[in-house]
Amino acid sequence: MKGTSTKIPAPSNHYDCVFIAQAFHWFANLDSLKEIHRVLKDDGVLALIWNLEDRTRADWIGELRDLYEQYESGSPQYRLGLWKPIWTTPEAAELFQVPLQAQDYPHSMTRNRETIWKRILS
């Protein structure tokens, strides 16, 4: 079934949780929040998940990110925080518990040149 953030193919009050991984920064708007709220049960939870390299773990990580981030052409990347202002609106506060609760979970992954290149291209 095809859907979008503003037209989720599910009945109202249907889900206990909506997980959005690596994507909310692309559709951080009120229409999306309304639709997500519609499909959640009254006590449902919205979980926003992102992965981000830790620049402090190795110098080369920051250096590599500095090289390719300059070509992002203003796309709404998570790290820029352009997705956060929607949560300061009265409308978002009516739909969801705000301020947001955040938690960081460190996780190490072994990567090689090919997997790093694929991540950059994504």
Closest C-alpha to 57, from 21, 103, 111: 111
**Model confidence, pTM:** 0.81
Identity of residue 37: H
Structure token digits, residue 93: 């506060």
Which residues on neighbouring strands pair with residue 40, listed in sequence order? 15
pLDDT digits (tens, 9 = 90+) for 38-89: 999 999 999 999 987 777 777 787 788 888 888 878 788 888 899 999 999 9
Please state which of the ranges 52-56, 97-101, 104-108 shows the lowest mean pLDDT. 52-56
pLDDT digits (tens, 9 = 90+) for 2-11: 999 999 999 9
Please answer whether residues 51 and 79 qualify as being in contact, where contact means their C-beta atoms are separated by less than 8 angstroms: no
Q: What is the DSSP string of 28-82?
A: -SHHHHHHHHHHEEEEEEEEEE-----TTS-HHHHHHHHHHHTTSTT---GGGTT
Please answer whether residues 12 and 38 qualify as being in contact, where contact means their C-beta atoms are separated by less than 8 angstroms: yes
Is the Cα dihedral 107, 112, 115, 116 positive or negative?
A: positive
